Amino acid sequence: MTIHLGTILPFSPLVFQFVPKVRQKFLLFHRINGYTIIFLTLVSNAGAIMIARRAFGGTLATQAGVGVLVIASTVSIALAYYNIKRLQIDQHRAWMLRAAFYLGTIITLRIIMIIAAQITGKIGGYFTVMECEKLQYIYNETSTINAPPTEDYNDDSIIERPKENSNLLQHVGN
């Protein structure tokens, strides 16, 4: 997660690439920023693939969504690079705009997810099946954040460790 955030957060000021005055007056700056965008996007996409199995529960839908965005943004960046090397400026601009939109969808998705969480909370909750290891991770993270520090903190006292290869339903039934 650190790789992903560490490469995307510096990406923010690079939006000045789309300002025509900056692009025309400072061509070298524009070119260096372009190579920086390519590098940061590729590293960020690698980080996104690494955390896809854990992000938001790591469901198949989450992994598929991350995969589609990684492929779309990587292909867009590659085609933008190809077109600028061929001096096809309009095509380069179009592919860079597409890449920017693909990369910006995650921000919109976060806003939608916050609203959806509020709505499902008001309706009466949302239930899903999770593996015991994921539940333990979630429980340990939230209890660590909310609990005051104690000297005799024992991880085993928070949650019973599940038996190997047990799923949530078997563990709850015991």
pLDDT at 88: 93
Element (H, E) at 133: helix 132-146
Q: Helices 89-123 and 60-85 meet at what angle, rounded to 10?
A: 160
Domain residue ranges of the chain, discontinuous segments joined by +: 2-123, 132-173
Q: What is the pLDDT of residues 69-103, one digit of tens each?
A: 999 999 999 999 999 999 999 999 999 999 989 98
Q: Which three-class secondary structure state does DSSP give residue 168? A: helix
Phi-psi region of 49 (alpha: psi -120 to 50; beta: other; left: phi over 0): alpha
DSSP letter, residue 151: T
Residue bearing tokens 């510096």? 10
Instruction: Report pTM.
Output: 0.65
pLDDT at 81: 95
pLDDT at 118: 85
Q: What is the pLDDT of residues 15-70, one digit of tens each?
A: 777 788 877 888 888 888 889 889 988 988 888 888 888 777 677 888 898 899 99
* Cα separation values, 3 from 48, 54, 89, 151, 152, Å: 8, 14, 31, 33, 34
